[in-house]
Amino acid sequence: MIPNNKYFTAAEIYVRLLSSFPKKGTEISKINVMRWCSEVVTELLTDPVGMVLNSKIQLGNLVDGVYKIVDGKVEVPVDCFKLEAVYDETKKLSKGFSYQGQYIHLNSNYKPEKILIDYYSLPVGEDGFPLIKRGYESACYAYSVYKMFEEDASVIPPRIQQWRWYQICEDKEHELSAAYASWSDLTDNDIRDIHNFIIDPNYIRIINKFSGGEIINSSNC
């Protein structure tokens, strides 16, 4: 999938940051920008409508070109934000397994030949950057600026003027609120999907895994 009138790539935010803050060029990591943009959609806005459903993805250890189930467990993809369904060769499963940590564990008396899943993830561009729904550009940029200067504001003495840090915080909150308000055009089905996504018991664990173990807290601003 490539950027179009529906999606923009996180690489666009990366280039914009380099242009706006050339002195921080060596400190701006592509991986961090990718993570920050992903956090906007998956944690701060919790928008499953901006994600894609991957269907019937086979799991297991690849051995001689064949996926094998080893030690009664299979690892879920790293980009999995919500596990939607689990299948064996013939049917969708409602029991016979548990989902813990980053693995699906199979009951000891259940030995299928294959395990497949449906799961939600961010779409990814040809450059490996996640694709973000159009309309979230300003929110992703403002949040990335906030993350770039967060350490500068937390050290003693601060490496950023207080008035400038407050402005960055205000910009971030304003743009996130504006992006959240854009949900007013969602359908009833969209709202129902969002509700189901947020109450999923694995939600916090999945987000925490993808974001490198960091739970975002904007209460400092």
Phi, psi of 138 (to 5 degrees): -65, -35
- Beta-bridge partners for 86: 117
The two tokens of residue 96 are 């016979």
The model's pLDDT over 125-141, given as tens digits with 9 standing for 90+, comes to 777 777 888 889 999 99
The residue type of 54 is N
The model's pLDDT over 148-175, given as tens digits with 9 standing for 90+, comes to 999 999 999 999 999 999 999 999 999 9
Q: How many domains is the chain built from?
A: 2
The model's pLDDT over 78-123, given as tens digits with 9 standing for 90+, comes to 778 788 899 987 788 878 899 887 899 999 888 888 999 999 887 7
Whole-model pTM: value is 0.62
For residue 216, being part of any structural domain is answered with: no
For residue 220, being part of any structural domain is answered with: no
Write out the residue range of the structural domain in which residue 89 sits.
Answer: 52-121
Choose between 52 and 179: higher pLDDT.
179
63 with 109, same domain? yes
- Beta-bridge partners for 99: 104
- Among 102, 121, 140, identify where a domain stops: 121
CA 41, CA 123: separation in Å to the nearest integer?
Answer: 12
Contact 28, 14 (CB under 8 A): yes
The model's pLDDT over 194-206, given as tens digits with 9 standing for 90+, comes to 545 544 444 444 4
CA 9, CA 28: separation in Å to the nearest integer?
Answer: 16
58-84 mean pLDDT: 86
- Beta-bridge partners for 66: 63
Give the model's pLDDT for residue 182.
72
Phi, psi of 210 (to 5 degrees): -70, -35
Distance of CA 73 to the CA centre of its chain: 24
For residue 46, being part of any structural domain is answered with: yes
Give the model's pLDDT for residue 146.
97
Instruction: Calculate what percentage of the chain has a pLDDT beyond 70.
Output: 78
- 3-class SS at 171? helix
For residue 217, being part of any structural domain is answered with: no
The DSSP-derived string for 15-40 is HHHHHH-GGGGGG--HHHHHHHHHHI
47-72 mean pLDDT: 83
Angle 51-56-60 from CA coordinates, rounded to 5°: 105
Number of Cβ within a 10 Å radius of residue 200: 17
58 with 116, same domain? yes
136 with 188, same domain? yes
Instruction: Calculate what percentage of the chain has a pLDDT beyond 90.
Output: 32
Residue 42 scores a pLDDT above 80? no
